[in-house]
Structure 1
């Protein structure tokens, strides 16, 4: 039964709980990177909601129904959480607008998208603006004034090298001489188990993911498949702590967007499979592809591309699982 504004109350409630579940990871991000995280959220939300309203207007659909379910805001939030803080103002705006236009509305709106909108927006931004997408700030590197100057292009003379640093995944990928122990001891991007900031951010999103599981907003199959396969393949391919090491299983679980991807991205109900077995296989595929892209691909964190590639396999996974049920 729809509400007076034409919105499914179950969908709206699910979106509200997803937003609530992002709070632990968001708070940790804020502690490490400050106001840049909130600027990303504000700009991405503006870009997503403006594009959603424009698309609905052009399609002659009710704005209240299209904007009231919260799905555009969730996509904008997940995208903003994955973007580097203090990136140029136009980046979250354009990435969020592209996520809604090309990842959702072009297919008919909510419930029709074959690709994860947030990850499509992220991948497009990474392909089009790789330099801006790979400049992550060092923790606690900027105050609000310097951050605003950087975001809006007012930072005359402020060099990127003065505030940016390579992430732990990127440092490990390009390392050729230092052992893993030496990297952890000498490189400020590394913490106890994973990236210095990323390990705590991942634990924050893990806490939010467990809340979603407890509230039964998401199922366990896709997160378990992704994290389980990432654990197994990183354990099988782990070659110790030498200079050619690909990182330990714990390093991969607590670096990059592992937990954000496992609990907030692969669980997206529209672009993912509908059956439990297919969700498990979907998650397994995302975990395997994430490790392969991280280790041998051209990008340090492969969650977005892994999800989009697995989105292409969803019809096949559904047919495979349906055939197995019929033959059982």
Structure 2
């Protein structure tokens, strides 16, 4: 039996703070979508912990210190928040399995992964099962029993006829005839400034992110880079309220996974840059790519793919900033 390894207390404390900071957004999502997010969370958490335990056993590594550090629960929570509530159980399980096996342990575990594990798991199921990941529920959807029936495919009448709807980002991308004012008035997916209810979700994640900044869990560079880049590119490409509008800067900041991506995904320390300047560039790249994928891509929200693409560029960003600092120091 391999000897026990000490738990990384700094990592464990950081993971606890991240989970605490996610609670406001989770509470708003529960209010908005009902039990679906909690079902996702339970499935993702069990699957992530089980996968981690299995891989550690196969690698002949001790289970308890790694399972106790909280990183698997953070990955599972981010996945549960990114996936549509009430998506089929096997989608959530597959995403958690891929995140832990291919996103984390394939490269050696905590501290070695070049890609954000949660976003890698999400991207793999998005590419593999795109139809299942476009069914987002209407506000204040199912009760617990109907939700479980839908998730596990039980019963004949699994869900009401009008249970699912296109998201605000989907509706905006395919819109060809309605002005923005007409779209916000006629389409129930739109709220006052962004997606209906999703505005409050983003504000809740913003509050959680500010809490983490105050506790110095991460620096301001990646979130500031992402949000400012997303704001600037959406402002430059915004053409008012016409039918060909791509949405206002406020719409893009308060819709989709903007705040979750800025404060909880782009700030992942292992797969991100090491220096403050590189983190700022990394965040700016994530914001730019998010807008490009949202507006002209084939997926409803571009945060996951934007983060993974920028993960590929992390070594180059670190070298670029380091070489510039060396030139300035001469």
- TM-score, normalised to structure 1, is 0.98
Q: CA–CA distance in 1 between the matches of 2:47 and 2:320?
A: 38
Pair 1:315–1:77, CA change in 2 (3 A): same
Q: CA–CA distance in 2 between the matches of 1:170 and 1:294?
A: 8
Equivalent residues of 1:184, 1:192 under 8 A apart: yes
Runs of 4+ in 1 over 3 A off after TM superposition: 157-161
Q: CA–CA distance in 1 between the matches of 2:224 and 2:21?
A: 18
For structure 2, the 5+ residue unaligned runs are none
Pair 1:108–1:160, CA change in 2 (3 A): farther
Give the equivalent residue in structure 1 for 2:80.
Answer: 80
Q: CA–CA distance in 2 between the matches of 1:159 and 1:78?
A: 26
1:32-47 alignment runs, 5 A limit? 32-47=32-47
Q: CA–CA distance in 2 between the matches of 1:204 and 1:305?
A: 23
Give the equivalent residue in structure 2 for 1:8.
Answer: 8
Q: CA–CA distance in 2 between the matches of 1:242 and 1:315?
A: 41
Residue 218 of structure 1 pairs with residue 215 of structure 2:
no
**2:241 counterpart SS class:** coil
1:159 positional shift: 5.7
Q: How many residues align?
A: 325
Equivalent residues of 1:6, 1:64 under 8 A apart: no
Residue 129 of structure 1 pairs with residue 95 of structure 2:
no
Give the equivalent residue in structure 2 for 1:180.
Answer: 180
1:158 positional shift: 3.8
For structure 1, the 5+ residue unaligned runs are none
Q: CA–CA distance in 1 between the matches of 2:75 and 2:155?
A: 30
Q: CA–CA distance in 1 between the matches of 2:85 and 2:197?
A: 13
Give the equivalent residue in structure 1 for 2:244.
Answer: 244
Equivalent residues of 2:150, 2:159 under 8 A apart: no
1:90-169 alignment runs, 5 A limit? 90-158=90-158, 161-169=161-169
Give the equivalent residue in structure 2 for 1:231.
Answer: 231
Q: CA–CA distance in 1 between the matches of 2:242 and 2:40?
A: 37
Shifted more, 128-137 versus 154-163: the winner is: 154-163
Q: CA–CA distance in 2 between the matches of 1:126 and 1:148?
A: 22
Give the equivalent residue in structure 2 for 1:266.
Answer: 266
